[in-house]
């Protein structure tokens, strides 16, 4: 059976990965690990660093959950009106986004996105554009995905399951997919926190999906079942 990573080793691996990643520019964060549960606290200079720290923590071997309590303290202060204008311009330039269907309100550096869009890819792109705007301290995603193409629940379930089977980073044998009204429910177990969210992404990118409820639990498995990271 695979050896369980110690909390000390998880913390060391996460600190080393953050230090080596040239994209990360916020060295003054605190990391606590309790039974594989990573807790991130302290300050980061941008929302990009906040999201990056969370994503990196999810990929560290032995991590079963991540709590992100990082606060964004940007080095520059900007007017909400200027931030809103820059986000609108970023959306206008983005080929994945129909900016006319998205409303933006910025309050004290927090950008609120609302509206109804066609795909998860469009939502992901819009949120990413907002994150990358200078002066943004947080992004509240209230966008609603309402696919223009209607598909049967059975077809959606079949496609999600097929995509899970094709993904070399997942063992789909313990995953059950149920679909109701375009909403995908993932039940069962996976071997790691990273695999849980890989399955989530697979479901979201399936045409016709309106929402994903990820109820997968993490169960450590033997080394013979470990999958490439």
Summarize pLDDT for 63-108 with one digit per residue, the tens: 888 999 998 887 667 899 999 999 999 999 999 899 999 999 999 8
CA distance linking residue 166 with residue 168, whole number of Å: 6
DSSP code per residue over 15-65: HHHHHH-TT-----EEEEEETTEEEEEEEESSHHHHHHHHHHHHHSTT--E
Highest mean pLDDT out of 47-51, 99-103, 125-129 = 99-103
Summarize pLDDT for 22-38 with one digit per residue, the tens: 888 888 899 999 999 99
The CATH number of domain 80-145 is 3.40.50.300: no
Q: What is the mean pLDDT of residues 145-154?
A: 85
Ranges in the chain annotated CATH 3.30.1340.30:
153-225
Integer angstrom CA distances of residue 62 from 26, 33, 183, 187: 24, 10, 30, 21
CATH of domain 7-72: 3.30.70
Judged on CB neighbours under 10 Å (0-12, 13-18, 19+), 115 is middle
CA distance linking residue 71 with residue 52, whole number of Å: 13
Instruction: Give residue 76's pLDDT.
Output: 66
Half-sphere exposure of 86 (CA within 13 A, CB side): 17
* Residue 104: closest CA among 125, 118, 86: 86
Ranges in the chain annotated CATH 3.30.70:
7-72
Assign domain 153-225 one CATH number from 3.40.228.10, 3.40.50.720, 3.30.1340.30, 3.90.870.10. Answer: 3.30.1340.30
pTM of the model: 0.59
Query: φ, ψ for residue 107 (rounded to 5)?
Result: -135, 110
């Amino acid at each position: 059976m695979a050896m369980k990573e110690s909390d000390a080793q998880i913390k060391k691996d996460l600190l080393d990965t953050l230090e080596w990643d040239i994209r990360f520019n916020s060295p003054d964060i605190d990391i606590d690990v309790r039974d594989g549960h990573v807790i991130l606290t302290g300050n980061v200079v941008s929302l990009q660093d906040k999201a990056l720290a969370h994503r990196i923590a999810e990929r560290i071997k032995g991590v079963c959950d991540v709590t992100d309590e990082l606060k964004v303290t940007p080095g520059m202060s900007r007017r909400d009106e200027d931030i809103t204008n820059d986000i609108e311009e970023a959306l206008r330039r983005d080929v994945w986004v129909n900016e006319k269907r998205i409303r933006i309100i910025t309050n004290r550096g927090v950008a609120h996105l609302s509206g109804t869009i066609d795909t998860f890819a469009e939502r992901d792109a819009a949120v990413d554009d907002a994150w990358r705007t200078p002066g943004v301290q947080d992004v509240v995603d209230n966008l609603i995905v309402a696919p223009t193409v209607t598909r049967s629940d059975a077809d959606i379930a079949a496609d999600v399951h097929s995509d899970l089977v094709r993904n070399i980073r997942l063992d789909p044998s313990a995953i059950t997919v149920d679909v109701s009204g375009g909403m995908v429910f993932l039940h069962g177990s996976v071997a790691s926190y990273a695999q849980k969210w890989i399955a989530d992404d697979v479901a979201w990118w399936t045409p016709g999906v309106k929402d994903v409820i990820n109820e997968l639990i993490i169960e450590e498995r033997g080394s013979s079942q470990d999958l490439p990271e």
